[in-house]
Structure 1
């Protein structure tokens, strides 16, 4: 006779971390002061957005820090999927879509998050490094290394924060960090930070995300 089972234990509901970014690549002769003005006028709109850890309003300028393009490329860390979905499908995302066209929205599952040594300083630069997850590596060891790298970045002088996340469809790892100076030594693509909305930054789960 089959033994009766009791009710399954309820899992504790916790905040999660989800990274998101889209890129608007602009003409080579585009006046990037238009982007600076746009963020100056509209950047406060997400300063109290429920479910948002932070949004960094980022741009790259052709010829600056080796950038080959002019680009507007906001990067987000979300505390909740509901907050992200409300942004994407509730109407707020339609503004940049109307102005620049609909971009591909990249998403990564959070691996690690750390506040940096300069956590209380305003961020002026961001570094993003994307890399392929090799086929022949044990995933557990590779992801642990990614967690360690986020911690090493956060421990550097001038680091405001550091995060790591993974896209398990493309098998792509992204490292993202913010800095209080314009010439960070971290490897990767350097962006100018125009504004940071960070209503839920304190609630972002620290350290390893599993």
Structure 2
């Protein structure tokens, strides 16, 4: 599993209805994308749920590198680049994925943290695996994943919720649409 996200931070007065309309028109284009586990179409609005910015920030879990590369180089990502300029697309290597009991997603939480200096890397990533498991077991969670960016030694914990999530110290996003053609193919549990 590979995680990917790009963030488009928009002006403070930006009409977020433009993004909602865009997702309503184009969101289903990835509903059958080969190699995609899921894409959560995420937004944050300045002043809501603690967000300091207006932002469109889709989050992806890929089943295959081929699917991710096909999206990046084969036309899917080009639409974003054409309309907003080319954002940096962050990538993380999957550590764990777990399913929860919820039936749909209204909110997402992304929490990033540094991998602690010193100590054993095994301990840090095992803790991340445990965090995915802990999040997925909470009431109202659809799924949870943990991943690592070894170029920055940063962990990301991502979860989808059907109701307002509790304060976890992460950024809270609205989910406008969820494309999940290969969600059932995402490997469960620890990824190594």
- TM-score range (shorter-chain normalised) is over 0.9
Residues 72-97 of structure 1 deviation map (CA, whole Å, 9 limit, x = unaligned): 00000000000000000001111011
How far residue 112 of structure 1 moved from its aligned partner, in angstroms, is 0.1
The normalised TM-score by structure 2 is 0.98
Please list, as runs of the form range in 1=range in 2, the aligned pairs for 1:1-210 lying within 5 A after superposition. 17-118=1-102, 121-210=103-192
How far residue 134 of structure 1 moved from its aligned partner, in angstroms, is 1.4
Provide structure 1 residue ranges, at least 5 long, that are not aligned to the other structure: 1-16
- Structure 2 distance, partners of 1:158, 1:122, is 9
| Alignment match, 1:8 | none
- Structure 2 distance, partners of 1:63, 1:183, is 17
How far residue 52 of structure 1 moved from its aligned partner, in angstroms, is 0.2
User: For the pair shown, which has the larger CA radius of gyration, 1 or 2?
Assistant: 1
Provide structure 2 residue ranges, at least 5 long, that are not aligned to the other structure: none
- Structure 2 distance, partners of 1:173, 1:80, is 20
8 Å Cα contact 1:51/1:81 also seen in 2? yes
Q: How many residues align?
A: 192
How far residue 36 of structure 1 moved from its aligned partner, in angstroms, is 0.4
- Structure 1 distance, partners of 2:179, 2:19, is 16
